Copies of this chain bind each other. A is one copy, B any other.
Amino acid sequence: MNILIVDDDSELLEQLQRGLERKQYRIETAENGEKALDKIFEITYDLILLDIMLPRMDGLSVLRHMRQAGLNTPVLMLTARGDVEDRVKGLDYGADDYLAKPFSMAELMARIRALLRRDGKRNTVLTAGPLSLNTISRTVTLDNVPVSLTSKEFSILEFLLHNKGSAVSRFNMAEHVWGNEFDPFSMSNFVDVHIKNLRKKITANGGKNAAIIRTIRGIGFIIDDAP
């Protein structure tokens, strides 16, 4: 799960990042509205924590821009305690929930879980043939037998399943899984290596399940839509 946190209070930012990373979320941050928007259009996030008060374009504008562009990523607004007006505006603009500062980490976690769990659109269980992946518990099973994946392997498989039926380029994959740590000019084949290891694991029981992840030469990989 990729989460973008947008806040100009760098201390709070760090604190949130640490706390959420501990829960296995992939975190990226932005400390002003412009940078936030840049990132939002660049990478697909599963959730955005958006402070209202921001330098260089406030949170509401960011929200308006992204909704106008048709992005329906869930947004959790962070507002100062009294700002009833902003809060209402935010919900009007398409925010999904809000949280008044100061808040407890526990409260935040609860809201995040709720938003991520929500709408059946974001399915928590993704499948392909005998393969099943649960995004909440971060577990994978093959023919109902648990398979143990590393963090990167899991993210890659999750991304492929999330885009089941469409060819995914190495570039997109890297962008999504590695986020801003991804060096677009890297000549390494780290994606291929992870794919190899992933295939090995989902073929462990001897079947020919490696074919679940199909290579598209010159492009990347795909998990076919089940017929």
Closest Cβ neighbor of A69 among chain B residues: B110
- Whether the pair B216, A167 counts as a contact (CB closer than 8 A) is no
For the complex, is A138 an interface residue (Cβ under 8 Å from B)? Answer: yes
A219 / chain B contacts, CB cutoff of 8 Å:
138, 151
- Whether the pair A222, B69 counts as a contact (CB closer than 8 A) is no
Query: What sequence of 0s and 1s flags, for each residue 108-125 of chain A, a beta carbon within 8 Å of any chain B beta carbon?
Result: 011101100100000000
For the complex, is A13 an interface residue (Cβ under 8 Å from B)? Answer: no
| One of A37-45, A77-85, A88-96, A204-212 at the interface | A37-45
B40, B42, B109: the one within 8 Å of A41 (CB): B109
For the complex, is A193 an interface residue (Cβ under 8 Å from B)? Answer: no
Rounded to whole angstroms, the CA-CA distance of A34 and B104 in the bound complex is: 9
- Whether the pair B24, A169 counts as a contact (CB closer than 8 A) is yes
Closest Cβ neighbor of A149 among chain B residues: B217
A167 / chain B contacts, CB cutoff of 8 Å:
136-138
- Whether the pair B225, A137 counts as a contact (CB closer than 8 A) is yes
Taking CB atoms and an 8 Å cut-off, the chain A residues in 32-58 that contact chain B are 34, 37-38, 40-42
Rounded to whole angstroms, the CA-CA distance of A34 and B103 in the bound complex is: 12
- Whether the pair B66, A151 counts as a contact (CB closer than 8 A) is no
A172 / chain B contacts, CB cutoff of 8 Å:
24
* Distance from A212 Cβ to chain B, minimum over Cβ atoms (Å): 15
A151 / chain B contacts, CB cutoff of 8 Å:
217-219
B24, B41, B104: the one within 8 Å of A38 (CB): B104
For the complex, is A65 an interface residue (Cβ under 8 Å from B)? Answer: yes
CB contact under 8 A between A166 and B150, given known A38-B104, A70-B113: no
The 8 closest A-B CB pairs, nearest first, are A151-B218, A69-B110, A41-B109, A38-B106, A41-B106, A138-B167, A136-B166, A37-B106
